[in-house]
Amino acid sequence: MASVDILLGLQWGDEGKGKVVDFLAPKYNVVARFQGGPNAGHTLEFDGHKHVLHQIPSGIFHEGILNVIGNGVVLDPITFKREIDGLAPFDLDLKRHLVISNKTQMIIPTHRMLDKAYELAKGDKKIGSTLRGIGPTYQDKAARKGLRIGDINEPDFDERYNQLRDFHLQILERYNFEAELDEEEKLFFEAIDIVREFDILSTEYLINEALIEGQSVLAEGAQGSLLDIDFGSYPFVTSSNTIAAGACTGLGVAPRRIGEVYGIFKAYCTRVGSGPFPTELFGDKGEELRKLGNEFGATTGRPRRCGWLDLPALNYAAMLNGVTQLFMMKADVLADMDEINICNGYKIGEKETNELPLYLDTDNLGLMFDTFSGWENDKVKSFENLPESLDKYVKYIEEHTKTPISLISVGPDRTQTLLKENF
């Protein structure tokens, strides 16, 4: 029986998962999203095109791959329709290559409004949510009030929609949030008609049957391990399990079906939204990294906070996910820097540690660093022949994580990717 390989982010999201899934996709028969929703923005660049996907799996641009939106995802029909419209120029046979789980939870317009109302009420303690309705939709899932995509074909769908919307409106009233719904609902029901044109299935059967037939499946993570609802920097996290375990519950596959776990990380660190970020750089250094890496959110356009690679955090994520191979992204961004740092341990009071404390706030946390120098980017041609300082950087991370790095990305295009021999 074939297995499910997982590709996921080991930091605070935006590691470059879209590029890598698109690059790896030809090796797989099925590519499936298992959690998150339109808060994700997976950027793919190929043949001079740049395209951002939010909910549709990143295997969509390859002929012959089945893309699955799994039950663990929260799907916004309006964003879905927009994504479908955006794919029109590529002339893809979407209805044949994309299916949706009937158990995928649905984001309705008032979920987005609730997200805004809750964030506003938090004041300066806000999470920095993407405001796409993710939290309130997972909240309704856990409260057993949610609507699922399969419900759109039930005779009482409109009634159940109205019930949930009215419940949300009561909450919004308490938050003094003015809900203007006419236009939103028009878009929503137009979008529902588009969703109905797709196959809405018990995709857990489809995926398990594919595995029995020997087909390979790639599970595409969204956000990153440090945003995981259980293990991330709570409460500044997203609302789903972003770690490998989420692929089991989010697709309906058993743990023993999991094969490789590809952990993807940037050669440095970024974060959007609020919350602790121990190695964050401020002032000119932070600005330099943001400019060099063009670090602006793919979903919201917000400037990303930038900082050095954090090995205790990377190791924590590698442990939680059982990472078998590491992929290092955006190595080219560091090339021109005179001095590059890696945090290789924390100090809490007098105690040195590699364990992440319950709260990651930098006020209580000392950082220990090792320093590296840059390299000439145009000398980066193959994995086996890296410039000396980059080679040192790669080996240092491999040694400290006890995990091999199998892929190094040195630019946004599919072609700017170095693979270890035999990968």
SS3 state at 36: strand
Token digits for 414? 């599919």
Site for ligand IMP in 102-141 (CB under 6 A): 127-130, 132, 134-135
11 makes contact with ligand IMP (CB under 6 A) = no
Residue 133 identity: G
CB 363, min distance to ligand IMP, A: 20
5, 14, 310, 332: which one binds ligand IMP (CB under 6 A): 14
On the question of a cis peptide bond just before residue 235, with omega within 30 degrees of 0, the verdict is yes
DSSP E strands, 185-308: 199-201, 217-220, 258-266, 269-271, 305-307
Identity of the residue, 13 or 150, whose beta carbon is nearer to ligand IMP in the bound complex: 13
Identity of the residue, 152 or 314, whose beta carbon is nearer to ligand IMP in the bound complex: 314
273 makes contact with ligand IMP (CB under 6 A) = yes
Q: Round to whole Å and give the CA distance between 25 and 33.
A: 13
332 makes contact with ligand IMP (CB under 6 A) = no
Q: Round to whole Å and give the CA distance between 262 and 225.
A: 12
329 makes contact with ligand IMP (CB under 6 A) = no
CB 64, min distance to ligand IMP, A: 27
Q: Which residue has the tokens 């602790």?
A: 276
238 makes contact with ligand IMP (CB under 6 A) = yes
CB 353, min distance to ligand IMP, A: 25
CB 199, min distance to ligand IMP, A: 26
CB 132, min distance to ligand IMP, A: 5
7, 227, 394, 397: which one binds ligand IMP (CB under 6 A): 227
293 makes contact with ligand IMP (CB under 6 A) = no
SS3 state at 418: strand
Exposed, middle or buried: residue 68 (CB in 10 Å: 0-12, 13-18, 19+)?
buried
Q: Contact 88/162 with Cβ under 8 angstroms?
A: no
SS3 state at 325: strand
Identity of the residue, 133 or 150, whose beta carbon is nearer to ligand IMP in the bound complex: 133
Q: Round to whole Å and give the CA distance between 311 and 237.
A: 20
65, 147, 222, 326: which one binds ligand IMP (CB under 6 A): 222
Residue nearest to ligand IMP (CB): 273
18, 32, 34, 39: which one binds ligand IMP (CB under 6 A): 39
Map 306-318 to HEC letters: EECEEHHHHHHHH
**Active site amino acids:** 14, 42
Identity of the residue, 103 or 271, whose beta carbon is nearer to ligand IMP in the bound complex: 271
Identity of the residue, 150 or 220, whose beta carbon is nearer to ligand IMP in the bound complex: 220
Q: Which residue has the tokens 């203007």?
A: 180
Residue 363 identity: D
CB 289, min distance to ligand IMP, A: 16
Residue 266 identity: K
Residue 79: phi, psi to the nearest 5? -65, -35
Q: How many residues bind ligand IMP (CB under 6 A)?
A: 20
* Residues near ligand IMP (CB under 6 A): 12-14, 39-41, 127-130, 132, 134-135, 222-223, 227, 236, 238, 272-273
